[in-house]
Amino acid sequence: MTFDTRILAGVGVLVAVSEVGNFARAGEVLGLTPSGVSRAVARLEARIGVRLFDRTPRSVTLTEEGRRFHAQMMPLLASIEEAAAELAGAAVAASGRLRVNVDPWFARMVLAPSLPRFLQRFPLISLDLAVSNHREEMMVGVDVAVRFGPAEGGTLIARKLLETRVLTCAAPAYLNLHGTPQTPHDLLSHEALLFRDPHSGRPFEWEFSRNGETFTVDVRGQLTTDDPSAAIAACAAGLGIFQSFALGLDPWLRRGDLVRILGDWSDEVFPLYAYHPSRNLPPAKVRAFLDFVQEIAMEGAD
């Protein structure tokens, strides 16, 4: 389908009129006569077949259809403006307040240690970081959300950052005292550190996969938490065995604070997604953050 560029010109007039409230002032802004503005609006209404404005001698207001059309067009106009600036070599600087809502594991194990690098790279950005593993209304009041698990549907744009393996690990001191499990079923006689599912309120099941075979083990333990930092610290202290994302675990494994066990049963992977509102071209600060979290996520991937 060939795009009718006259519609785009008419949209510019529509935006001006909606902002100032009458044809005369819109004409001053656009450098047109009031009659020229009126004709441009009439042509736009004729082309799309909908009345966009209610006109009175004193004011011009958007109709219900006009308000809906205006709301749909504003993000597109902003994207066009930013794309034009970038193409001209005058890209909008990544700046302003960036509000993000990030999964606790990613926030504490991967993002937080890298924040100095991000803020040094983008000194005009101020970061407002919320940490939550709940998905309900995760985009309320924020620009970007980061979550593990399958992609959400709906109107959000989802960007897959990576897939990370699920590992089973323990402290050497624990294994020296209690022995090293050789099969997943051996875990039934060991102390497990349990991580709470924010949706059900119950601990996550421990799942094991190898060569297409997948099953769960009904592990038990005295400690259940929803804090990844607490779980890792307790595991490193020798309290029990923990099942964890590989992403972010390297520092503990390299130091020998934790060791990986049951490596032959770690085919399970979990995706990590970043979400932002549905816009063809998100603001520069959002693109900067998305690119950065992709970068650090890949650095920390298994």
**Mean of pLDDT values over 246-253:** 90
φ, ψ of residue 85 to 5 degrees: the values are -65, -40
Assign 294 to helix, strand or coil.
helix
3-state secondary structure of 241: strand
pLDDT tens for 220-234 read: 999 999 888 899 999
* Topology adopted by domain 5-87: Arc Repressor Mutant, subunit A (1.10.10)
Q: What is the pLDDT of residue 279?
A: 60
Helix, strand, coil percent values for the chain (each to nearest 5): 40, 25, 35
Asked if residues 13 and 20 have their Cβ atoms less than 8 Å apart, the reply is no
155 SS3 class: coil
Strands 206-210 and 213-217 turn out to be: antiparallel
Which residue reads 């032959």 in tokens? 264
Supply the pTM of this predicted model.
0.64
At residue 209, does pLDDT exceed 70? yes
Round to whole Å and give the CA distance between 144 and 290. Answer: 8
The mean pLDDT value for 8-26 works out to 81
Q: 163-174, pLDDT tens digit by residue?
A: 888 899 999 999
DSSP letter for each residue of 129-162: EEE----TTTTTT-SEEEEESSPP-TT-EEEEEE
* CATH code given to domain 96-302: 3.40.190.290
In which residue are the tokens 């099953």 written? Answer: 215
List the chain domain ranges: 5-87, 96-302
Model confidence over 46-88: pLDDT tens digits?
888 889 888 887 778 888 888 888 877 777 776 676 666 555 4
